[in-house]
Each structure stands twice: as structure tokens, then as C-alpha cells.
Structure 1
Amino acid sequence: MAKQLLLNAFNMNCVGHINHGLWTHPRDRSVDFNRLDYWTDLARLLERGLFDGLFLADILGVYDVYQGGVELTLRESIQLPVNDPLLLVSAMAGVTSHLGFGVTANLSYEAPFTFARRMSTLDHLTGGRVGWNIVTGYLESAARAMGHGEQETHDRRYDQADEYLEVLYKLWEGSWEDDAVLADRGRRIYARPDKVHPIRHHGEFYRVEGYHLSQPSPQRTPLLFQAGSSARGLKFAGNHAECVFIGGQNKEAVRAQVDKVRAAAVAAGRPADAIKVFMGINAIVAPTEAEALDKLAEYRRHASPEAGIAHFSASTGIDLAAFGLDEPIVERKTNAIESVVKGFSGWTKRRLLEQHALGGRYPQAVGSPSQVADQLLAWIDETGLDGFNLTRTVTPESYIDFIDLVIPELQQRGRYKTAYADGALRHKLFGQGPRLAAPHPAAHWRQANLQTEEKESRHA
């Protein structure tokens, strides 16, 4: 049976996310991002389209690499202003029943103890529909804003992230046992003291002693997303991630990246299919190919390729304004996104501007409903991808078009669900219940496992 594709809407709590400049399109509503109904309307729309989730990006700091400042960043609203994504989730969950929510949060500047409570709270309020996109940051402007002279080096940030996850697993999985909460009014026992345990973590980066402040949520550990594709990022993903977000311009490169993700899971002692792999993509669809191409041309007239490469400059840590149009971009060591720096070395600024004709660099699926479906399924079938993070172009138009035109085509072919499965977000994606199971490292920290280890060590 052919694989059904998974689908997240890719968005951000800001005006300009990936496809820069399109906020100027007369049908675009992204300037309303400060209004709650903008987000609740979007959540209802995505649930109508049976989207698996809404993946919300985030960034701390500003894009100040291009031209050495934020002038263009502010004029074009290149992810500035940007609001907190986590605060949107409760409202959107309140108007939906199944849609999942993947929220990005930077662990480098957030204490694990308080973050654990925040995510448990969201998991409770959504009925187990929340995921966390784990990031360590890459902007020097963020480090300065958070009181650091400079950010930690690339691989060192992942060392810190490994320990951060260990602290979270101890809190989420180990502090409260499954049967700790009785809520027994007659006996005046809400929670059994013998079933709630403090954690004691003394590590290189963190020292945490205390009880998790939230009782066990439906998933305990939220669904774990990650997007690093460097060697160190892949190792981290192999150990921790359940969903990985990759980029790519051609099927051969994407196939290689998918294989690396699967190999990283196996190297960590997990099954190759323990990780679902998503790729970012633009979809521009209309009833006919000619109408879709006209729409693409219309969108391009409003897009800002320069804003796109200003965003790209921040991703690489290289000021692309300093290069001539046909001057090769020379790779140099930066502390930004390592895989992006390596992937575009030798390109010219002209080539980048052409690639960013829609304001962003993601690949495009353009055409009639059947043509777009063909293109998406070719990516899935030829690369091993599990699904897509569908970027917004003109919002909400791009999502409406996709839901009304492409989803029925995919359903007719048996390649997209016709109804949601019941249960938590993790169960919807993996079909194995709401909680993480061994060999994922989170399972190690459950009290039953720890008590078994203690007994075995006493009898060894």
C-alpha cells in the first residue's frame, strides 16, 4: 500500500516568514498576525483540511548580518516584529479537536525547569496535541540580547542540548508516576506523596533539584521535532527526534539527507522509521496550469528576493551585500547554521536572487491540482520523505487553495487521510500510543525502569 503523506502548515507569529515581500500582496492578511482571530481562523481552516499540525517557527534576536544592520529587516518585516508562538496554542486548541501544534523554543536561553512546566501545561490544555521543535539558536544578535558576549560554538550548543533533554526527561517522565494522582475527595488525597519524586541532576550545564510542577500530561514528553542537518545535529536527532525537518533543492540531495536521518536513528539504537522526515515546500495551485502560472507570476511581482537573501545572510552568518552579483560566495567558518553554509558555497549572489524569486528558497510545486499532487507524491516516493511543511505565500489564500484543490486529489488517490485518527498527536503520527517508548532515551527515566535498575544492581 502506498504511503499516505503527512502535512504541517509552516508558519510564524510574524508578518514575513519564509517568502518575503508577499505581505504587500493585496489579498494577504499576514499584517493581522497580532489579532487572535487571525490564528483561530487559521486553526479552523487547517483542521478542515485535515492537516496533521501547524508548525510554528520562532527566532530570538534579529537579522542584522545583511548590510550590517536591520534597515531592510524592518522595512520588509523579515521576521521582525515576531511574537511568542507558545501563547497562540491554547486559543487555537480551543477551536479545534485534532490539529497538532509544533512550537519552536530555543533551549539555550530557557531554564529547563520552567520550560518543562510550560510544555506540560500546553499538553494538558490541548489534550496531548503539542510538539516541541528543539533549537539551540544561531544568531549572535540573540546571544547579545540575552546578555552573552557571543553565542556558544555550534557543536557545544548540541552538547548543552543533550543535557537539557536529560533534565526534561527526568521531569516529564520520572517525577510523577502514572498512578500518582487520585483526586479522592472522600479521603482528601489529591496526589500520593509516595508516587511523586524529586529529581536531582548535577551536570556540566545544569543543576536541578526539585519536583516537576505539573502532573503527567497526556503525552508526558511532547512530540519532539528537530531541524539540524550537520553531523552533530544528525547525531542529536538520532538520539532524540521523532520528526525531523530538512531542506533540499533536488530529489537526489533530499534522498541522501533522508537516508542520513534514518541511519542516525539506527546508530542510536532506534528503528529507522522511528523518525518522520518532513521537507519545506511552496505549493501554488489553481484549477488549471495556466491559472497557476499566472498566480505564480503575480506573487513574484510582490515578492522581495533581496529580503530573501538578507534572511539567508543571517542563516549563514555571511553578509551577502558585500559580494558582487557574479562573485562566488566563499565559504568561511561562522557560528551560524553549518549545513546551510556548506550547501551554498560557490554560489553567486545572482544565482541566490534567482532562487529567491518568491522571497524564499524552498522548492515549489506549481500547477493544476493533479499536477501539484503528482509533484508532491514524486518527492515522497523518490526520496523516502514522510511529508511536508507547507509554507505560506499569500495568507490564508495559499492554504485555502491547497485544501480545496489538492487535498481532494490526494484523497482520491488514497494518499491522504479522509478523517483524523483519535488520540494524542504522537499516536496520530505513529499509531503506538501517546507516550514515548523504549528504546527512546526518555523511557529510561520512568520510575518503573529506574526501580528495576536499582533492584538489578542490588542483586548483581
Structure 2
Amino acid sequence: MTATGKREILFNAFDMNCVAHQSPGLWRHPEDRARDYNTLGYWTGLARTLEKGLFDGLFIADVLGPYDVYGSSDEATLRAGTQVPVNDPMLVVPPMAAVTEHLTFGVTAGTAYEHPYPFARRLATLDHLTEGRVGWNVVTGYLPSAARNLGNEDQMEHDERYDHADEYLDVVYKLLEGSWEDDAVVNDKESGVFIDPSKVHRIEHEGRFFRTPGIAFTEPSPQRTPVIYQAGASTRGRAFAGKHAEAVFINSPTQELISGTAAKIRQSAAEAGRDPHDIRIFSMQTIVTGATDAEARAKYDDLAQYVDVEGGLVLMSGWMGIDLARFDLDEPIGDVKSNAIQSAVETFKKASGAEGEEWTVRRLAEWVGIGGFGPVIVGSGETVARELARIQDETDVDGFNLAYHITPGTFEDIVEHVVPELQKLGRYKTEYREGTMRHKLFGRGDHLPENHYGSRFAVRSRSQV
């Protein structure tokens, strides 16, 4: 809640360590600086802008393989620069943490292809270096190209990927929660003892997928386990979220779908023995704003000139697993024989207010070209603020993952035009809460709460058994 007692809207910036994230082609816009993604200056400048606007966090997406469903090759994705090249998301976090005090960082990393032992060390290292301002977006992977490049013929079956991820999380919890006691590091210069060996425990994990007998290789970090993000919307994915997630990213293009997904996630938390609002839900949103509604609309029309149709189809093909290169650009969607594409288009029609109109493959790509799969709001800061408040009130989301159309211009506009209007409505913070990412989100301390599945692995619980 804000100081006025009204529900606070949370903001994450949604980015990726690449050139074309959610708006293919807009890297060509003269004001876009996405090409600087591989420089420290881009990331530190973005972090300063977000902290100026009191953003809660920067959520960094990632993939481990190219989008090669379209045309059954990676040629189109290379031409368009759609999420390729992609650099490691974790490495940009420490410099951003160094130039900010409060901004938090949600970093995407998959469970499919790296052993949890070295990953847990890297995660704990980030938590140390950011003083507890980091979260982990747990993904199981969806691109077959990543599986092939890491020595597999294909990905594991969908539900088995989550079984694998469940055990992966168990190993991470055991290492970060259950290996080192809080006071294991004594740092006694007189006795010459730095660590009390009796307070460091082997985890002795023997599972279906992993065998990890030894101790964690890092001392406890401020949060021990960083905040757990998750983005799966399937039935199995929601069960995983109910068990593990403290924040969930959803990507639904209509308010009806946002509301339904949010309700199912909260139900999953309750079924796991947690409060339904123990999970912060962030809905993907793109905002085009300016001083007036007319200025925002003119800005949108300008952006539309740079949309890359083929790039949009590359992303849609990868997300949906359908090769849209097989269809003519001006072919009506009704001629495209796929239940998946039909349902997606019906969703887009509702989101754009274009129900009853004929949609072609080209029009689908143009829709995706600004903001990707998520909804778009165009308007003045006041218009946008009121719409965001209405969406939150009617869908029960906690906040928004804000995708850019151009960067950092999208975020600069939001800071200038939208944030002040939300503050006038009493729906946005006027100062940061102190502490770690977990405490900023929930106000209940730094560590996993007792009703979270991961807390059962805590060393303090082990000593009581």
C-alpha cells in the first residue's frame, strides 16, 4: 500500500542483453540506443534512469538459442536481429548495482543445461555484490535450438522439464539455505580461524537428475536464496509457481486473460499452503506516452514505420512453434490451418478492438512489432496512469513488466510523464523502502518466509530435527 492507503503499482523495466527484444525493427529508429547493449554505459545509464523513476526492478530476459522455427533456419532471425546476438544477463548486474542504491534486478537463467552447483555459487555471488538486490527468473527453456547446441536432440518433454526444475531448485535451496549456518564465518584473527567447520554442512543430495554430496562454496548472502521469479503459464507451470515463485511474470494481451491468469496463479499459491498474495504478479505492458494524447499517438505512428514484419513473424513462430514462413503475408488468418494461430489472433483482435475485421499474416506481424505479444497503451501520462490503475483494480495484478519500443526512450518517457501522474493518484511510491529485494517487495525481512517450500531446507530447521 502507498502512504494514502491505496494499492501500489509496481514497475519493472523489461529488457534483454540484445538489440531487438520485443519490438523487432525498432532498433532502426534514430532515437534508439539498443545497439549499445554491449557497453557498460548503456546499462549503467539505464539503471540510473530507472532509479530516478523509482522503478522496483529491471527484469532481464534471456534465451540460449536462436529463433529458427521460421523458415526452418536462423537466417531470418539473424537478418532482423531478433534476440540475437544475446549476451549473458548476469554480467551486467554488478556495474548497475554499483551506480544505484535501491534498484533491484531479476535475472533469467535456465535449469535445463547447467548443473545447479556452479549456478548456486554464481547466484549467491550476485546477491553479495548487489547487497541482496537480485532475483532469479527460473525458466525451463522452450527453444529446441538451445537443446541441440548443448548436445541434446531436443528438449525434455514439457512436464518432465518441470520435474527436472523442481529437483534443481531443491539442490539450490540445500546449498544456499542448508549448508552454512548464519554464524559459520567467525573471522577470528587471534585464533586464526576464519570458518567454524562444525557450522558448515554437506548437503548429501542424491536425486533422479543430480548428485551433489558436498558443501556450498559460498558463505550466506544477504537473502541466502535470491527472490524466485517464474513465468510459466501452463497448468504444470502454475503448480511450479505456487510452490516456488515469489514473483511471477505473465504475458497476456487482453485484460480478460490477465485476470484469469492472475486468479489461477493465486489459487496455485493457496493450494501450496501459501497466502494467495505471497506472489507478486507482474503483467507485461508496453507504453507509448507523451505530454498529450495527441503527442503519444503521433509517437506511435512514427514507431510503426520501423516495424520489421519478418522479424515479428520470427518471434511469433518461435513462441508458438509454427513456421509462419509457409504462408503468404497477405493470406487471411482464416486460411492458416492451425488452432494455435487462430486462438492467438482472436486474442489480438480483442486486444486491439478489431473484432470482426479480417486479419492477415502481415497484420499479425505488425501487431507484434510494437511491444511483442503484450498489450499496448497509447496516451498522455494521465491517460496511461488511469488505465494502469484500472487494470490493476480489475485484474488483481501487483504491477507491470514494461517492455520498451525504443530504449532508453521508452523508460525516460514513463519516468517523465507516467510516474508523476501515478503518484498524484496515490498509486505509486514516492520513495524506496530500504533493504533487500525480498524486503522491498513484501516488507517481511530478507529471507524466505516460513511458509515457502524452500525454507524447509534451512539449516536452522535441520538443527531442530
Higher mean alpha-carbon deviation, 381-390 vs 346-355, is at 346-355
Indicate whether 1:317 and 2:321 are aligned. Answer: yes
Residue-by-residue CA offset, 1:323-378 (whole Å, 9 max, x unaligned): 3421444447xxxxxxx879528786355235324262221111111001011111
Structure 2 unaligned residues grouped into runs of 5+: 348-359
Higher mean alpha-carbon deviation, 361-370 vs 214-223, is at 361-370
Q: After the TM superposition, which residues 191-210 of structure 1 pair with which residues of structure 2 at under 5 Å, given as runs? A: 191-210=195-214
| SS of residue in 1 equivalent to 2:156 | coil
Q: After the TM superposition, which residues 72-91 of structure 1 pair with which residues of structure 2 at under 5 Å, given as runs? A: 72-91=76-95
Residue-by-residue CA offset, 1:417-450 (whole Å, 9 max, x unaligned): 0111110000000000010012111110112212
User: How far is the alpha carbon of 1:191 from its aligned partner?
Assistant: 1.3
Indicate whether 1:451 and 2:457 are aligned. Answer: no
Aligned equivalent of 2:47: 43
> 1:308 touches 1:361 (CA, 8 Å); kept in 2?
no
Structure-2-length-normalised TM-score: 0.93
- 2:389 corresponds, among 349, 372, 377, to 377
Residue-by-residue CA offset, 1:139-195 (whole Å, 9 max, x unaligned): 111011001111111111000000000011000000001111111112212111111
> 2:333 touches 2:342 (CA, 8 Å); kept in 1?
no
The residue type paired with residue 423 of structure 2 is: Q
Residue-by-residue CA offset, 1:188-241 (whole Å, 9 max, x unaligned): 121111110011111001111111010000000011100000000000000000
> 1:143 touches 1:150 (CA, 8 Å); kept in 2?
yes
User: How far is the alpha carbon of 1:320 from its aligned partner?
Assistant: 1.1
Higher mean alpha-carbon deviation, 305-314 vs 4-13, is at 305-314
- 1:187 corresponds, among 178, 186, 191, to 191
Alpha-carbon RMSD: 1.5
- 2:378 corresponds, among 362, 366, 379, to 366
> 2:32 touches 2:409 (CA, 8 Å); kept in 1?
yes
Indicate whether 1:222 and 2:221 are aligned. Answer: no
Task: Give the Cα–Cα distance (whole angstroms) in 2 for the partners of residues 323 and 375 of structure 1.
Answer: 36
Indicate whether 1:414 and 2:426 are aligned. Answer: yes
Alignment CA distance shift 1:254-1:417 (3 Å): same
Task: Give the Cα–Cα distance (whole angstroms) in 2 for the partners of residues 342 and 434 of structure 1.
Answer: 45
Paired residues in the alignment total 446
- 2:361 corresponds, among 321, 326, 349, to 349
Indicate whether 1:30 and 2:34 are aligned. Answer: yes
Task: Give the Cα–Cα distance (whole angstroms) in 2 for the partners of residues 293 and 374 of structure 1.
Answer: 17
| SS of residue in 1 equivalent to 2:213 | strand
User: How far is the alpha carbon of 1:293 from its aligned partner?
Assistant: 0.3
User: How far is the alpha carbon of 1:452 from its aligned partner?
Assistant: 2.2
Task: Give the Cα–Cα distance (whole angstroms) in 2 for the partners of residues 83 and 230 of structure 1.
Answer: 28
User: How far is the alpha carbon of 1:34 from its aligned partner?
Assistant: 1.0
The residue type paired with residue 158 of structure 1 is: Y
> 1:305 touches 1:360 (CA, 8 Å); kept in 2?
no
- 2:174 corresponds, among 155, 170, 177, to 170
Residue-by-residue CA offset, 1:243-274 (whole Å, 9 max, x unaligned): 01111122122111100000000111111011
Aligned equivalent of 1:326: 332
Indicate whether 1:235 and 2:239 are aligned. Answer: yes
Residue-by-residue CA offset, 1:63-116 (whole Å, 9 max, x unaligned): 111011122211110001000000001111111111000000011011100000
> 2:22 touches 2:369 (CA, 8 Å); kept in 1?
no
Residue-by-residue CA offset, 1:5-58 (whole Å, 9 max, x unaligned): 011000000000001110000010001111111111111111111111000000
Higher mean alpha-carbon deviation, 92-101 vs 319-328, is at 319-328
> 1:22 touches 1:299 (CA, 8 Å); kept in 2?
yes
Q: Percent identity?
A: 49
Alignment CA distance shift 1:447-1:134 (3 Å): same
Task: Give the Cα–Cα distance (whole angstroms) in 1 for the partners of residues 387 and 230 of structure 2.
Answer: 25
| SS of residue in 1 equivalent to 2:38 | coil
Indicate whether 1:268 and 2:278 are aligned. Answer: no
User: How far is the alpha carbon of 1:401 from its aligned partner?
Assistant: 0.7
Aligned equivalent of 1:429: 441
Task: Give the Cα–Cα distance (whole angstroms) in 1 for the partners of residues 439 and 178 of structure 2.
Answer: 21
Task: Give the Cα–Cα distance (whole angstroms) in 2 for the partners of residues 284 and 62 of structure 1.
Answer: 28
Alignment CA distance shift 1:85-1:147 (3 Å): same
Alignment CA distance shift 1:286-1:245 (3 Å): same
Indicate whether 1:132 and 2:136 are aligned. Answer: yes
| SS of residue in 2 equivalent to 1:281 | strand
User: How far is the alpha carbon of 1:59 from its aligned partner?
Assistant: 0.2
| SS of residue in 1 equivalent to 2:402 | strand
Structure-1-length-normalised TM-score: 0.94
Indicate whether 1:393 and 2:405 are aligned. Answer: yes
- 2:294 corresponds, among 285, 290, 308, to 290
| SS of residue in 2 equivalent to 1:150 | coil
> 1:21 touches 1:359 (CA, 8 Å); kept in 2?
no
Task: Give the Cα–Cα distance (whole angstroms) in 1 for the partners of residues 369 and 83 of structure 2.
Answer: 18
Structure 1 unaligned residues grouped into runs of 5+: 333-339, 454-460
> 1:131 touches 1:223 (CA, 8 Å); kept in 2?
yes
The residue type paired with residue 375 of structure 1 is: E
Task: Give the Cα–Cα distance (whole angstroms) in 2 for the partners of residues 61 and 419 of structure 1.
Answer: 39
Q: After the TM superposition, which residues 137-152 of structure 1 pair with which residues of structure 2 at under 5 Å, given as runs? A: 137-152=141-156
Task: Give the Cα–Cα distance (whole angstroms) in 1 for the partners of residues 392 and 224 of structure 2.
Answer: 31
Alignment CA distance shift 1:330-1:400 (3 Å): same
Aligned equivalent of 2:10: 6
| SS of residue in 2 equivalent to 1:344 | helix
| SS of residue in 2 equivalent to 1:37 | helix
